[in-house]
Structure 1
Amino acid sequence: MTAHEHSINMVRSAAVAAADKLAENLVALDVSERLGVTDAFLIASASNERQVNSIVDGIEDALDEEFGIRPVRREGRGAGRWVLLDYSDVVIHVQHNEDRVFYAIERLYGDSPVIDLPTTGEPATEMPADFGSGLPE
């Protein structure tokens, strides 16, 4: 089983919106084989809380405009360190750079297929080198 085409299109649209708001290290994973509750993850990061919230706003606006959908659930918006947008078929994680390194979601789902994103030019094939041990320095 692989992610549905609709989910992949949502992830790609969200990635474009995130990139427009200067999101960093965009990675999309097809987690449909590992998780029965969602098809794909999009993971993005930013250097400060204000930027995290700006990226989240851009993603929400883009998916509402293009697909007419709002997240089923949103967590972490107030703190702006790690915001989770749950669209059922797609879960989007926007994290502060420090939290992304610490929690290293990519390590948990590292064996999941990578979804090519139009914003990166090249599909991500491995975790960025700065993810080290997953612990802050």
Structure 2
Amino acid sequence: MTASEKSRQLVRLAAEAAAEKLADDIIAYDVSEQLVITDAFVLCSASNDRQVRAIVDEIEERLRIEAHAKPVRREGEREGRWVLLDFLDIVVHVQHEEDRTFYALERLWKDCPVIALPDSVTQVRAQRARGTAGE
């Protein structure tokens, strides 16, 4: 079994929202074979607590407006270092880059298939790597 079309749509929207707020290292995994509680994980990071919150807010707003989806659970908001948004079909992890490095969730899910993200997300990543984002 693979992630549903609805899950893939939510992944796309979440990734685009995160990219819009300049999240780093956006990646999505299809975890439907390993977990029964969700289809996909979206991981991204930010360099400071304020940016973590801005990314979380943008993801929540975009999914609410475009997919009529609201998180059933939101954890870690107070600290602003690692916020988890549980939309049932997908779970989004927005981490401070230090926490992302320390916890290395990618290592835990490395055997899961990566979900391809839209060009708009991957282009922002490439532009930032070249130092040309926003030009």
1:27-81 deviation digits (Å, cap 9, x = unpaired): 0000000101100000000000000000000000000000111100000011100
Q: 1:120 aligns with which of 116, 119, 122?
A: 122
Match of 1:11 in 2: 11
User: SS state of the match for residue 120, structure 1?
Assistant: helix
After TM superposition, the score normalised by the length of structure 1 is 0.87
Query: Partners in 1 of 2:27 and 2:69 — Cα distance?
Result: 22
Matches within 5 A, 1:56-71: 56-71=56-71
Query: Partners in 2 of 1:120 and 1:33 — Cα distance?
Result: 25
1:69-126 deviation digits (Å, cap 9, x = unpaired): 11000000111000000001100000000000000111011000000011115xxxxx
Alignment-mate amino acid for residue 115 of structure 2: I
RMSD in angstroms over aligned alpha carbons? 0.6
Q: Which runs of 5+ in 2 are unaligned?
A: 124-135
User: SS state of the match for residue 26, structure 1?
Assistant: strand
Match of 1:124 in 2: none
Name the structure with the higher helix share: 2
Match of 2:82 in 1: 82
Match of 2:100 in 1: 100
Query: Partners in 1 of 2:109 and 2:99 — Cα distance?
Result: 17
User: SS state of the match for residue 15, structure 2?
Assistant: helix
Alignment-mate amino acid for residue 79 of structure 2: A
User: SS state of the match for residue 3, structure 1?
Assistant: coil
Between the aligned residues of both structures, percent identity stands at: 61
After TM superposition, the score normalised by the length of structure 2 is 0.88
Q: Which runs of 5+ in 1 are unaligned?
A: 122-137
Moved over 2 A (4+): none
